[in-house]
Amino acid sequence: MSLKRDTALNIAHVLTEALPYIQRFTNRTIVVKFGGNAMVDPLLHESFARDIVLMKLVGMNPIVVHGGGPQIGALLEQLNISTEFVDGMRVTNSRTMDVVEMVLGGSVNKEIVSSINRSGGKAIGVTGKDGQLIRARKLEVSRFSPELGASEIVDIGQVGQVEQIDIEVLNLLQGSDFIPVIAPIGVGSDGATYNINADLVAGKIAEVMQAEKLMLLTNVSGLLDQDGNTLTGLSTSQVDALIADGTVSGGMLPKIGCALDAVKGGVASAHIVDGRVPHAVLLEIFTDEGVGTLITNKNLG
Protein backbone atom coordinates (compact mmCIF):
# COMPACT_ATOMS: atom_id res chain seq x y z
CA MET A 1 0.00 0.00 0.00
CA SER A 2 2.78 2.42 0.94
CA LEU A 3 4.37 2.12 -2.53
CA LYS A 4 1.06 3.06 -4.15
CA ARG A 5 0.67 5.91 -1.70
CA ASP A 6 4.20 7.16 -2.40
CA THR A 7 3.46 7.05 -6.11
CA ALA A 8 0.21 8.98 -5.61
CA LEU A 9 1.97 11.59 -3.45
CA ASN A 10 4.66 11.99 -6.10
CA ILE A 11 2.02 12.56 -8.77
CA ALA A 12 0.30 15.13 -6.54
CA HIS A 13 3.62 16.90 -5.97
CA VAL A 14 4.30 17.06 -9.70
CA LEU A 15 0.83 18.44 -10.44
CA THR A 16 1.07 21.13 -7.76
CA GLU A 17 4.49 22.19 -9.06
CA ALA A 18 3.02 22.46 -12.55
CA LEU A 19 -0.05 24.47 -11.47
CA PRO A 20 1.51 27.98 -11.41
CA TYR A 21 3.03 27.38 -14.86
CA ILE A 22 -0.31 26.22 -16.24
CA GLN A 23 -1.96 29.35 -14.83
CA ARG A 24 0.76 31.61 -16.22
CA PHE A 25 0.69 30.18 -19.75
CA THR A 26 -3.06 29.70 -20.28
CA ASN A 27 -4.09 31.16 -23.67
CA ARG A 28 -0.44 31.81 -24.55
CA THR A 29 1.12 30.65 -27.81
CA ILE A 30 4.10 28.30 -27.59
CA VAL A 31 5.97 27.45 -30.80
CA VAL A 32 7.87 24.15 -30.75
CA LYS A 33 10.38 23.11 -33.40
CA PHE A 34 10.35 19.30 -33.49
CA GLY A 35 13.51 17.62 -34.75
CA GLY A 36 16.52 15.50 -33.91
CA ASN A 37 16.30 12.21 -31.99
CA ALA A 38 12.75 12.97 -30.88
CA MET A 39 11.60 12.62 -34.49
CA VAL A 40 13.18 9.24 -35.21
CA ASP A 41 12.93 7.47 -31.83
CA PRO A 42 9.38 6.01 -31.59
CA LEU A 43 9.16 6.38 -27.80
CA LEU A 44 10.37 9.99 -27.86
CA HIS A 45 8.03 10.69 -30.78
CA GLU A 46 5.03 9.46 -28.78
CA SER A 47 6.04 11.29 -25.61
CA PHE A 48 6.34 14.50 -27.64
CA ALA A 49 2.83 13.99 -29.06
CA ARG A 50 1.41 13.48 -25.56
CA ASP A 51 3.18 16.64 -24.34
CA ILE A 52 1.62 18.70 -27.12
CA VAL A 53 -1.86 17.30 -26.45
CA LEU A 54 -1.55 18.03 -22.72
CA MET A 55 -0.45 21.60 -23.44
CA LYS A 56 -3.57 22.14 -25.53
CA LEU A 57 -5.85 20.52 -22.94
CA VAL A 58 -4.65 22.85 -20.15
CA GLY A 59 -5.33 25.94 -22.25
CA MET A 60 -2.09 26.67 -24.09
CA ASN A 61 -1.85 27.16 -27.85
CA PRO A 62 1.00 25.01 -29.19
CA ILE A 63 2.21 25.39 -32.78
CA VAL A 64 4.53 22.66 -34.06
CA VAL A 65 7.12 23.28 -36.80
CA HIS A 66 9.14 20.27 -37.91
CA GLY A 67 12.26 19.45 -39.87
CA GLY A 68 13.14 16.22 -41.62
CA GLY A 69 16.73 16.34 -42.85
CA PRO A 70 17.60 12.68 -42.14
CA GLN A 71 14.40 11.46 -43.79
CA ILE A 72 15.07 13.63 -46.87
CA GLY A 73 18.63 12.33 -47.06
CA ALA A 74 17.47 8.71 -46.80
CA LEU A 75 14.94 9.06 -49.63
CA LEU A 76 17.41 10.90 -51.88
CA GLU A 77 19.84 8.03 -51.35
CA GLN A 78 17.17 5.46 -52.18
CA LEU A 79 16.34 7.34 -55.38
CA ASN A 80 20.04 7.64 -56.28
CA ILE A 81 19.88 11.44 -56.26
CA SER A 82 23.21 12.96 -55.25
CA THR A 83 23.16 15.86 -52.81
CA GLU A 84 25.68 18.42 -51.60
CA PHE A 85 25.80 21.00 -48.85
CA VAL A 86 27.03 24.59 -48.76
CA ASP A 87 27.59 26.00 -45.26
CA GLY A 88 25.36 23.28 -43.83
CA MET A 89 22.49 23.94 -46.26
CA ARG A 90 21.31 21.35 -48.75
CA VAL A 91 21.67 22.46 -52.37
CA THR A 92 18.13 22.06 -53.68
CA ASN A 93 17.51 21.73 -57.41
CA SER A 94 14.03 21.03 -58.80
CA ARG A 95 14.40 17.24 -58.50
CA THR A 96 15.63 17.50 -54.92
CA MET A 97 12.83 19.97 -54.13
CA ASP A 98 10.26 17.39 -55.26
CA VAL A 99 11.71 14.94 -52.72
CA VAL A 100 11.86 17.61 -49.98
CA GLU A 101 8.22 18.48 -50.54
CA MET A 102 7.21 14.81 -50.63
CA VAL A 103 8.98 14.08 -47.33
CA LEU A 104 8.27 17.27 -45.36
CA GLY A 105 4.77 17.97 -46.63
CA GLY A 106 3.80 14.31 -46.90
CA SER A 107 5.22 11.46 -44.85
CA VAL A 108 6.88 13.34 -41.96
CA ASN A 109 4.09 15.88 -41.52
CA LYS A 110 1.35 13.26 -41.55
CA GLU A 111 3.26 11.00 -39.15
CA ILE A 112 3.41 13.83 -36.58
CA VAL A 113 -0.26 14.68 -37.13
CA SER A 114 -1.22 11.02 -36.64
CA SER A 115 0.82 10.76 -33.42
CA ILE A 116 -0.88 13.81 -31.92
CA ASN A 117 -4.31 12.61 -32.98
CA ARG A 118 -3.67 9.13 -31.53
CA SER A 119 -2.88 10.83 -28.23
CA GLY A 120 -6.27 12.58 -28.23
CA GLY A 121 -5.41 15.85 -29.92
CA LYS A 122 -6.82 17.54 -33.02
CA ALA A 123 -3.79 18.21 -35.19
CA ILE A 124 -3.91 19.51 -38.74
CA GLY A 125 -0.89 19.42 -41.02
CA VAL A 126 -0.03 22.23 -43.43
CA THR A 127 2.94 23.43 -45.42
CA GLY A 128 3.84 27.08 -45.84
CA LYS A 129 2.25 26.91 -49.28
CA ASP A 130 -1.23 26.31 -47.83
CA GLY A 131 -3.08 29.61 -47.77
CA GLN A 132 0.29 31.22 -48.56
CA LEU A 133 1.11 30.83 -44.87
CA ILE A 134 4.85 31.32 -45.50
CA ARG A 135 5.87 33.79 -48.19
CA ALA A 136 9.52 33.22 -49.07
CA ARG A 137 12.30 34.54 -51.24
CA LYS A 138 15.42 32.88 -52.53
CA LEU A 139 18.28 32.75 -50.04
CA GLU A 140 21.51 34.22 -51.38
CA VAL A 141 24.69 32.69 -50.03
CA SER A 142 28.13 34.16 -50.48
CA ARG A 143 31.48 32.62 -49.60
CA PHE A 144 35.10 33.54 -50.05
CA SER A 145 36.72 32.30 -53.25
CA PRO A 146 40.51 31.83 -52.99
CA GLU A 147 40.77 31.93 -56.79
CA LEU A 148 39.04 35.32 -57.01
CA GLY A 149 40.42 36.62 -53.73
CA ALA A 150 36.92 37.89 -52.94
CA SER A 151 33.43 36.70 -52.01
CA GLU A 152 31.21 35.14 -54.65
CA ILE A 153 27.50 34.35 -54.75
CA VAL A 154 26.79 30.59 -54.59
CA ASP A 155 23.53 29.36 -56.09
CA ILE A 156 22.07 26.72 -53.76
CA GLY A 157 18.83 26.39 -55.70
CA GLN A 158 15.38 26.43 -54.13
CA VAL A 159 16.50 27.26 -50.60
CA GLY A 160 14.60 30.20 -49.18
CA GLN A 161 14.25 32.58 -46.30
CA VAL A 162 11.05 33.80 -44.69
CA GLU A 163 9.69 37.01 -46.14
CA GLN A 164 6.28 37.05 -44.44
CA ILE A 165 4.06 34.85 -42.24
CA ASP A 166 0.28 35.09 -42.65
CA ILE A 167 -1.00 35.03 -39.07
CA GLU A 168 -4.62 34.87 -40.27
CA VAL A 169 -4.13 31.22 -41.16
CA LEU A 170 -2.61 30.44 -37.74
CA ASN A 171 -5.28 32.37 -35.85
CA LEU A 172 -7.97 30.49 -37.76
CA LEU A 173 -6.46 27.11 -36.82
CA GLN A 174 -5.93 28.01 -33.17
CA GLY A 175 -9.44 29.46 -32.87
CA SER A 176 -10.84 26.13 -34.09
CA ASP A 177 -9.07 24.13 -31.34
CA PHE A 178 -6.72 22.58 -33.88
CA ILE A 179 -3.00 22.13 -33.28
CA PRO A 180 -1.10 23.36 -36.37
CA VAL A 181 1.75 21.12 -37.55
CA ILE A 182 3.77 23.08 -40.10
CA ALA A 183 6.24 21.85 -42.71
CA PRO A 184 8.89 24.53 -43.47
CA ILE A 185 8.16 24.93 -47.18
CA GLY A 186 7.46 28.43 -48.48
CA VAL A 187 6.15 29.94 -51.68
CA GLY A 188 7.67 32.84 -53.60
CA SER A 189 5.84 35.74 -55.23
CA ASP A 190 6.42 33.96 -58.55
CA GLY A 191 4.87 30.73 -57.25
CA ALA A 192 8.24 28.97 -56.80
CA THR A 193 8.57 26.50 -53.92
CA TYR A 194 11.35 26.97 -51.34
CA ASN A 195 12.90 24.73 -48.70
CA ILE A 196 13.47 26.77 -45.52
CA ASN A 197 15.38 25.93 -42.35
CA ALA A 198 12.82 24.76 -39.75
CA ASP A 199 14.47 26.66 -36.88
CA LEU A 200 14.14 29.91 -38.84
CA VAL A 201 10.49 29.23 -39.67
CA ALA A 202 9.72 28.44 -36.02
CA GLY A 203 11.50 31.62 -34.90
CA LYS A 204 9.62 33.84 -37.37
CA ILE A 205 6.26 32.28 -36.48
CA ALA A 206 7.02 32.86 -32.78
CA GLU A 207 7.83 36.51 -33.54
CA VAL A 208 4.73 37.33 -35.57
CA MET A 209 2.46 35.49 -33.10
CA GLN A 210 4.22 37.26 -30.18
CA ALA A 211 4.55 33.84 -28.59
CA GLU A 212 5.25 33.30 -24.92
CA LYS A 213 7.90 30.71 -25.78
CA LEU A 214 9.95 29.39 -28.69
CA MET A 215 11.27 25.89 -28.04
CA LEU A 216 13.91 24.34 -30.30
CA LEU A 217 14.41 20.60 -29.72
CA THR A 218 17.99 19.44 -30.31
CA ASN A 219 20.29 16.46 -29.76
CA VAL A 220 22.36 18.24 -27.11
CA SER A 221 21.66 19.26 -23.53
CA GLY A 222 21.64 22.95 -24.43
CA LEU A 223 24.23 25.69 -24.76
CA LEU A 224 27.40 24.56 -22.99
CA ASP A 225 30.12 26.68 -21.38
CA GLN A 226 33.85 26.02 -21.82
CA ASP A 227 33.71 23.32 -19.11
CA GLY A 228 30.79 21.47 -20.68
CA ASN A 229 28.14 22.72 -18.24
CA THR A 230 24.69 23.67 -19.54
CA LEU A 231 24.06 27.41 -19.40
CA THR A 232 20.55 28.69 -18.72
CA GLY A 233 18.72 31.78 -17.51
CA LEU A 234 20.55 33.97 -20.01
CA SER A 235 19.68 37.50 -21.06
CA THR A 236 20.06 38.60 -24.68
CA SER A 237 23.14 40.67 -23.77
CA GLN A 238 24.76 37.65 -22.10
CA VAL A 239 24.15 35.56 -25.22
CA ASP A 240 25.64 38.31 -27.40
CA ALA A 241 28.74 38.19 -25.18
CA LEU A 242 28.97 34.38 -25.45
CA ILE A 243 28.85 34.66 -29.25
CA ALA A 244 31.52 37.35 -29.21
CA ASP A 245 33.93 35.33 -27.02
CA GLY A 246 33.48 32.15 -29.09
CA THR A 247 31.56 30.08 -26.50
CA VAL A 248 28.78 29.78 -29.08
CA SER A 249 30.25 28.33 -32.24
CA GLY A 250 29.82 25.72 -34.96
CA GLY A 251 26.43 24.12 -35.45
CA MET A 252 24.99 25.75 -32.32
CA LEU A 253 25.59 29.27 -33.69
CA PRO A 254 22.64 29.43 -36.15
CA LYS A 255 20.28 27.82 -33.59
CA ILE A 256 21.24 30.28 -30.86
CA GLY A 257 21.08 33.10 -33.41
CA CYS A 258 17.52 32.08 -34.28
CA ALA A 259 16.51 31.98 -30.60
CA LEU A 260 18.18 35.33 -29.97
CA ASP A 261 16.43 37.01 -32.92
CA ALA A 262 13.05 35.72 -31.72
CA VAL A 263 13.56 37.05 -28.19
CA LYS A 264 14.78 40.41 -29.49
CA GLY A 265 11.71 40.41 -31.75
CA GLY A 266 9.30 40.22 -28.81
CA VAL A 267 9.05 36.52 -27.86
CA ALA A 268 9.14 36.33 -24.05
CA SER A 269 11.64 33.46 -23.92
CA ALA A 270 13.41 30.95 -26.14
CA HIS A 271 14.58 27.50 -25.08
CA ILE A 272 17.18 25.18 -26.54
CA VAL A 273 15.75 21.87 -25.29
CA ASP A 274 17.35 18.41 -25.05
CA GLY A 275 14.96 16.39 -27.22
CA ARG A 276 16.65 13.13 -26.18
CA VAL A 277 14.88 13.35 -22.80
CA PRO A 278 11.36 11.85 -22.67
CA HIS A 279 8.70 14.55 -22.16
CA ALA A 280 11.36 17.23 -22.63
CA VAL A 281 8.75 19.83 -23.64
CA LEU A 282 6.70 19.39 -20.47
CA LEU A 283 9.79 19.35 -18.27
CA GLU A 284 10.97 22.64 -19.73
CA ILE A 285 7.57 24.33 -19.38
CA PHE A 286 6.21 22.92 -16.14
CA THR A 287 9.25 22.51 -13.85
CA ASP A 288 11.70 24.86 -12.19
CA GLU A 289 14.74 22.93 -13.41
CA GLY A 290 13.93 22.41 -17.10
CA VAL A 291 16.10 20.44 -19.51
CA GLY A 292 17.88 23.01 -21.62
CA THR A 293 19.02 26.58 -22.10
CA LEU A 294 16.61 29.47 -21.43
CA ILE A 295 17.10 32.84 -23.11
CA THR A 296 14.80 35.64 -22.04
CA ASN A 297 14.12 39.28 -22.82
CA LYS A 298 13.24 39.96 -19.18
CA ASN A 299 15.66 41.66 -16.82
CA LEU A 300 17.39 38.88 -14.89
CA GLY A 301 19.30 41.15 -12.59
Question: What CATH number should be reported for the domain holding residue 241?
Answer: 3.40.1160.10
168 and 41 in one domain?
yes
230 and 187 in one domain?
no
**258 alpha-carbon distance from chain centroid:** 10
In a domain, 170, yes or no: yes
274 and 139 in one domain?
no
In a domain, 106, yes or no: yes
Q: List, for residues 243-273, the tens digit of each pLDDT value.
A: 888 878 777 788 888 899 999 999 999 999 8
160 and 37 in one domain?
yes
pLDDT tens per residue across all 301 residues of the chain: 465 777 778 777 777 878 888 888 989 999 999 987 778 888 999 999 999 999 999 999 999 999 998 889 899 999 999 888 877 788 888 999 999 999 999 999 999 999 999 999 999 999 999 999 999 999 887 765 666 566 667 788 898 999 999 999 898 888 788 999 999 999 999 899 999 999 999 999 999 999 999 999 988 877 877 777 787 888 888 888 888 888 787 777 888 888 999 999 999 999 998 888 888 898 888 876 667 888 887 654 4
Q: How many CB atoms lie within 10 A of CB 114?
A: 14
pLDDT value of position 156? 86
Structural element, H or E, at residue 75 = helix 69-78
233 and 183 in one domain?
no
Q: Which residues contact 276 (CB under 8 A, 6 or more apart)?
A: 36, 37, 38, 44, 219
Q: How many CB atoms lie within 10 A of CB 229?
A: 11
Contact status, residue 27 vs residue 192, Cβ threshold 8 Å: no
216 and 189 in one domain?
no
255 and 173 in one domain?
no
247 and 153 in one domain?
no
168 and 91 in one domain?
yes
In a domain, 15, yes or no: no
In a domain, 20, yes or no: no
In a domain, 218, yes or no: yes
Q: Rounded CA gap, 269 and 31, in Å?
A: 11
Q: Which residues contact 272 (CB under 8 A, 6 or more apart)?
A: 216, 218, 220, 222, 223, 252, 255, 256, 259, 292, 293, 295
Range of the structural domain that residue 116 is part of: 30-45+60-195
0.85 cut: is pTM over it?
yes
What is the rounded (10 degree) CA torsion for 90, 91, 96, 99? 20
What is the rounded (10 degree) CA torsion for 49, 50, 53, 55? -110
In a domain, 22, yes or no: no
Structural element, H or E, at residue 4 = helix 2-25
Alpha helices in 163-300 (DSSP H): 167-175, 198-208, 236-244, 252-264, 280-286
Contact status, residue 125 vs residue 181, Cβ threshold 8 Å: yes
216 and 137 in one domain?
no
163 and 132 in one domain?
yes
* Structural domain count of the chain: 2
In a domain, 7, yes or no: no
